[in-house]
Amino acid sequence: MKWDEFFVTGDPMIYGADVSIVLTMVGILFYLTKYKKWKWLWDEWLTTVDHKKLGIMYIVSAVLMLFRGGVDALLMRTQLAVPEAKFLDSQHYNEIFTTHGTIMIIFMAMPFLIGLINVVVPLQIGARDVAYPYLNAVSFWTFFIGAMLFNISFVIGGSPSAGWTSYMPLASNELSPGPGQNYYLLGLQIAGIGTLLTGINFLVTILKMRAPGMTLFRMPMFTWSSLVTMVIIIFAFPILTVALALMTFDRLFGSHFFTLQGAGMDMLWANLFWLWGHPEVYIVILPAFGMFSEIISTFSRKTLFGYKAMIWSMLLIAGYSFLVWVHHFFTMGSGALVNSVFSITTMAIGIPTGVKIFNWLFTMYRGKIQFTTPMLWSLGFIVNFVIGGVTGVMLAMAAADYQYHNTYFLVSHFHYVLIAGTVFACFAGLIYWYPKMFGYKLNERIGKWVFWVFTIGFNVCFFPQYFLGLDGMPRRVYTYSEESGWGPLNMVSTIGGFMMGIAFLILVYNMYYSFRYAKRETTGDAWDGRTLEWSTPTAMPPFYNFAKIPEVTGLDHFWRQKQAGKVEKLKVEDIKPIHMPSNSGVPFIMASFFFVAGFGMVFDWMWMAIAGMIGVFATLFYRSFEYDDGYYVSVEEVIETEKISK
């Protein structure tokens, strides 16, 4: 491989990125060394198995990825602002929309939600950690390494450019040679291991580690949504793993599963991809639904309306999510019967979703609604998500979909669902649980600015795209002619996009501002909450979460206790030694070996891939013979921790 193939050359923006990456790395190394933070970094973060810290690391990574994916989006919007723009060339634009989609779904939305699940779910069910804390660290580090591997593609080797769906045969060696597409395959494969492990880990955690008295039908709605999500992950992710592996074989080892030659089946890839891809959509939307349920109930100061209906509708959605994948390619010509069946199943998914919307509305009915920022995001969700929902039903009508397919109508629809659903939830959840993670709230006044600028910008950006779609503008074109008449609406859309970018910057500023100036919480109950995570005496729970595991007597246990004036005080005689898992550096090291192996595979350097895999197996082997059963926190230490916090 020649140097001009290894490094991406010839584009000033890429050189700029090269310089800023090097400078940032030097800056971080300098900071860590100067302030002697290496040991702190290793002991507190890189080796941690604490679900709260892993959760925070997930969220920090996701915010970084939101920045990366957002920059991609703004580059695209800049190129599309006016007809015949020369800002990006076709290849560059194609790489950017490919990485935008992949990063936003795989490396932003999912980790953001998994991060919040990590922080919140064990606390909500009254557990001291997850079922497999070590595995949890493996999950995080494989995700992180997968994301990093994918991200370096734009300066080393070139980014994938076959779309986030990577349809074959376009993504094959013959039509997309080089490392770009391999980055997609390996980055997703490595991160996918982490996601699958998370699915297993949290399924077991929620099923086996609930506090005494917390029956399934007493679980908070966010925990329920996480449980259902984990089930979907466990069924869906193996499909992705297999599909990616098959395409990797095609590209690296000359097999013909999806290729033009050897009677490969490109349609098989599309089917496998969406067999995972559609459940994936629900993986990123169900936890969002769970969060909104918690937030709307908390700030309406009222119990959730139709708790059981909420659960059943979620289970229905989870089941349906595996029965609708064909609607992503109604235009493949599968015949009238197939298209009719999948049209109907897809429309049917709107029914339980609609039920949820009404249940949220009626949770507020007869409530006492407080307009905190998390609540504003939740109301914004209802208002905007409905637009995404109804256009989804329109797209489900196959005969009409022949006209919407591959157009901006579709682009607008899924951004209305994914931004107004998932991203709004990520912001709402982040703000809502921020005091649980950091001990202080984000500033509410600045937070409301973020909400309004973002929500208005979002609508200005995406609403015109429905009309562009109906006017025949296809997705993924890097430019368009003056005569098409798409110029003005595209300009409007670009302005909206930049408003969202500004809102993101204000959000980051809010994090800084609140870090400096926010009043520190003195209790664990920042919002007058309902569920167990708010029952810890300190704002940030100690590493063992609960000195004494609570006994649950009903739904919204903590809220009911407060109403009855019977919040339990911790007594010294209740405290027993607490068993906790030990930190371990192995997950981080294992993931690093995955990086080496992945990088080798990307460039088809098999010696490097094999060396990396030997490292991975060595760490697995090491772990198998490690007899560390964790340690006990002594009663004295618990008393001391709890007293300090009082």
Partner 1 sequence: MRRFKPFFTFGLLMAVFMLSGCSDMIVLDPKGPVGAEQRDLIMYSIWFMLFILIVVYALTAFIVYKYRDRKNHKGYDPDNEGSHLLETIWWIIPIIIVIALAIPTVKSIYSLEGPPEKSKDQKPLVIHATSVNWKWVFSYPEQDIETVNYLHIPEDRPVLFKLTSADSMASFWVPQLGGQKYAMAGMETELYLQADEQGTYEGRNSNFTGEGFTNHTFDVMAMSDAEFEKWASETKADAPELSKGQYDKLMLPGHVKEMTFSSTHLDWVDHATNAEYALDARERLGYEEKIPHSRAAKEEKKKREEEMKKLEESESESHGDSHAH
For the segment 509-568, give every residue that binds partner 1 (CB under 8 A): 563
> Least distance in Å: CB of 458 to partner 1?
11
Residue type, 356: K
Q: Does 32 bind partner 1 (CB under 8 A)?
A: no
Going from the C-alpha of 264 to that of each of 245, 328, 394, the distances in angstroms are: 15, 21, 33
Q: Does 202 bind partner 1 (CB under 8 A)?
A: no
> Least distance in Å: CB of 98 to partner 1?
9
Q: Do the Cβ atoms of 300 and 360 come closer than 8 Å?
A: no
For residues 58 and 142, give the distance between their C-alpha atoms in angstroms, rounded to a whole number.
11
Specify the length of the chain in residues. Answer: 646
- H or E element: which one contains 524? none
Our CB check for partner 1 shows the closer of 47 and 484 to be 484
Total of residues contacting partner 1 (CB under 8 A): 107
Which of 79, 391, 412, 490 lies at the binding interface for partner 1 (CB under 8 A)?
A: 391
Q: Does 78 bind partner 1 (CB under 8 A)?
A: no
Our CB check for partner 1 shows the closer of 301 and 548 to be 301
Which of 12, 212, 333, 565 lies at the binding interface for partner 1 (CB under 8 A)?
A: 333
Which of 20, 24, 215, 403 lies at the binding interface for partner 1 (CB under 8 A)?
A: 403
550 cis-preceded (ω within 30 degrees of 0): no
Q: Does 490 bind partner 1 (CB under 8 A)?
A: no
- H or E element: which one contains 56? helix 51-80
Instruction: Count CB-CB contacts under 10 A for residue 272.
Output: 21
Q: What are the DSSP calls for 393-453, one per residue? A: HHHHSHHHHHHHTTBHHHHHHHHHHIIIIIIHHHHHHHHHHHHHHHSBPPPHHHHHHHHHH
Which residues, other chains included, contact 374 with Cβ-Cβ below 8 Å and sequence gap of 6+? 295, 299, 428, 429, 431, 432, 527
For residues 292 and 280, give the distance between their C-alpha atoms in angstroms, rounded to a whole number.
19
- H or E element: which one contains 318? helix 307-320
Restricting to residues 215-254, name those near partner 1 by CB under 8 A.
none
Q: Does 71 bind partner 1 (CB under 8 A)?
A: no
Which residues, other chains included, contact 142 with Cβ-Cβ below 8 Å and sequence gap of 6+? 190, 191, 193, 194, 197, 590, 591, 594
Q: Does 26 bind partner 1 (CB under 8 A)?
A: no
Our CB check for partner 1 shows the closer of 270 and 633 to be 270
Which of 83, 238, 319, 367 lies at the binding interface for partner 1 (CB under 8 A)?
A: 367
Q: Which part of the chain contacts partner 1 (CB under 8 A), choosing from 182-190, 199-207, 365-373, 534-542?
A: 365-373
Q: Do the Cβ atoms of 102 and 165 come closer than 8 Å?
A: no
Q: Does 623 bind partner 1 (CB under 8 A)?
A: no
> Least distance in Å: CB of 397 to partner 1?
4
For residues 143 and 110, give the distance between their C-alpha atoms in angstroms, rounded to a whole number.
10
> Least distance in Å: CB of 146 to partner 1?
22
> Least distance in Å: CB of 554 to partner 1?
11
For residues 314 and 632, give the distance between their C-alpha atoms in angstroms, rounded to a whole number.
39
Which of 23, 28, 175, 620 lies at the binding interface for partner 1 (CB under 8 A)?
A: 175
> The tokens of 298 are what?
């908390």
Our CB check for partner 1 shows the closer of 444 and 471 to be 471
Q: Does 5 bind partner 1 (CB under 8 A)?
A: yes
Q: How far apart are the first and last CA of the chain?
A: 63
Q: Does 25 bind partner 1 (CB under 8 A)?
A: no
Restricting to residues 179-198, name those near partner 1 by CB under 8 A.
179-180
Handedness of CA 312, 314, 317, 322 (dihedral sign): negative
Residue type, 565: G
Q: Which part of the chain contacts partner 1 (CB under 8 A), choosing from 110-118, 218-226, 354-362, 512-520?
A: 354-362
Q: Does 377 bind partner 1 (CB under 8 A)?
A: no
Residue type, 475: R
> Least distance in Å: CB of 178 to partner 1?
3
Q: Does 152 bind partner 1 (CB under 8 A)?
A: no
> Least distance in Å: CB of 602 to partner 1?
12
Q: Which part of the chain contacts partner 1 (CB under 8 A), choosing from 120-128, 178-186, 237-245, 590-598?
A: 178-186
Q: Does 13 bind partner 1 (CB under 8 A)?
A: no
Going from the C-alpha of 30 to that of each of 23, 27, 33, 45, the distances in angstroms are: 10, 5, 5, 18
> The tokens of 397 are what?
């009508």
For residues 513 and 516, give the distance between their C-alpha atoms in angstroms, rounded to a whole number.
5
Our CB check for partner 1 shows the closer of 395 and 426 to be 395
Q: Do the Cβ atoms of 237 and 203 come closer than 8 Å?
A: no
CA 313 to chain centre: 22
Q: Does 498 bind partner 1 (CB under 8 A)?
A: no
Q: Does 267 bind partner 1 (CB under 8 A)?
A: yes
Q: Which part of the chain contacts partner 1 (CB under 8 A), choosing from 5-13, 230-238, 541-549, 567-575?
A: 5-13
Restricting to residues 271-310, name those near partner 1 by CB under 8 A.
300-309
Our CB check for partner 1 shows the closer of 155 and 570 to be 155
Which of 41, 216, 477, 567 lies at the binding interface for partner 1 (CB under 8 A)?
A: 477
Which of 83, 319, 350, 487 lies at the binding interface for partner 1 (CB under 8 A)?
A: 350
Which of 45, 167, 509, 543 lies at the binding interface for partner 1 (CB under 8 A)?
A: 167
Which of 177, 213, 488, 630 lies at the binding interface for partner 1 (CB under 8 A)?
A: 177
